[in-house]
């Protein structure tokens, strides 16, 4: 199948629809020196709006979370534990704080490792995945066999939200699960 770059329309939907479909897509990182990294996404997680207690935007719009209220396809980079960058893509229309976290791609099985390998930093925050020339996603027609599982690292949101099966992985890739603590 012809390889195509994902457009805004792909992201302009519910995160619960976008997250599983992103699994199997190709994440492309273009560096200034011409070097390019291409890895197939193997693990994602969905965060859906203010009612989702596991979502950063659950407490309303703040300087940090307003990125999630921006248009579909906006890149949301978040620094966690003072040392790791999380890579997310905003979905849904403006004012609807939905986002999809990229937890793993290719040989990298954790969000922190992924962003380190891709040299993802806050400078990409708020840029759009469809229009910037440094990071984007391509679809080569690969159909992933999706496996849904509970999200990780959001116990503070409470059992009800932490147990939602909103983490999606490629059953075939079956790389070792994310090294994040599984409880």
Partner DNA sequence: TCTCCGATTCACT
Partner DNA sequence: GTGAATCGGAGAA
Which residues are paired to 137 by β-bridges?
A: 27
**What span, in angstroms and rounded, lies between the C-alpha atoms of 19 and 144?**
12
**Contact between residue 168 and residue 23 where contact means Cβ atoms under 8 Å apart:** yes
Q: Is there binding between residue 123 and DNA (CB under 7 A)?
A: no
Stretch that binds DNA, among 5-13, 16-24, 28-36, 54-62 (CB under 7 A): 54-62
Spell out, one character per residue from 61 to 90, where the chain touches DNA: x when CB under 7 A holds, - when not: -xxxx--x-------x-xxxxxxx-x-x--
**What span, in angstroms and rounded, lies between the C-alpha atoms of 166 and 7?**
23
Query: Least CB distance from residue 152 to DNA, whole Å?
Result: 5
Contacting DNA within 137-176 (CB under 7 A)? 152-154, 156
Measured from the CB atom, the residue of 4 and 183 that comes closer to DNA is 183
Query: Least CB distance from residue 109 to DNA, whole Å?
Result: 7
Q: Name residues whose C-beta falls within 8 Å of residue 17's C-beta, 6 or more positions apart in sequence.
A: none
Q: Is there binding between residue 41 and DNA (CB under 7 A)?
A: no
| Residue among 113, 123, 9, 38 at smallest CA distance from 75 | 123
Q: Is there binding between residue 119 and DNA (CB under 7 A)?
A: no
| Residue among 150, 182, 145, 146 at smallest CA distance from 163 | 150
Measured from the CB atom, the residue of 36 and 62 that comes closer to DNA is 62
Query: Least CB distance from residue 62 to DNA, whole Å?
Result: 3
Query: Least CB distance from residue 41 to DNA, whole Å?
Result: 14
**What span, in angstroms and rounded, lies between the C-alpha atoms of 31 and 9?**
26
Tell how far CA 69 is from the center of its chain. Answer: 15
Q: Which residues bind DNA (CB under 7 A)?
A: 45, 47, 54-56, 59-60, 62-65, 68, 76, 78-84, 86, 88, 99, 101, 110-114, 152-154, 156, 178-181
């Amino acid at each position: 199948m012809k390889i195509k770059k994902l457009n805004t329309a792909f992201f302009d939907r519910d995160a619960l629809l976008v997250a599983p479909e992103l699994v199997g897509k190709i994440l492309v990182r273009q560096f200034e020196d011409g070097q390019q990294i291409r890895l197939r996404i193997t693990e994602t997680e969905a965060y859906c709006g203010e009612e989702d207690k596991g979502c950063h935007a659950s407490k309303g719009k703040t300087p940090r979370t307003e990125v999630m209220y921006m248009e579909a396809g906006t890149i949301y980079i978040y620094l966690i534990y003072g040392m790791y960058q999380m890579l997310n893509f905003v979905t849904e229309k403006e004012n609807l704080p939905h986002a999809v976290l990229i937890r793993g791609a290719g040989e990298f099985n954790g969000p922190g490792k992924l962003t380190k390998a891709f040299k993802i930093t806050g400078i990409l925050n708020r840029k759009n995945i469809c229009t910037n020339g440094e990071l984007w996603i391509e679809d080569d027609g690969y159909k992933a066999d999706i496996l849904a599982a509970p999200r990780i690292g959001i116990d503070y949101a409470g059992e009800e939200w932490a147990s939602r099966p909103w983490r999606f992985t490629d059953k075939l890739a079956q790389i070792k699960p994310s090294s994040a603590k599984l409880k």
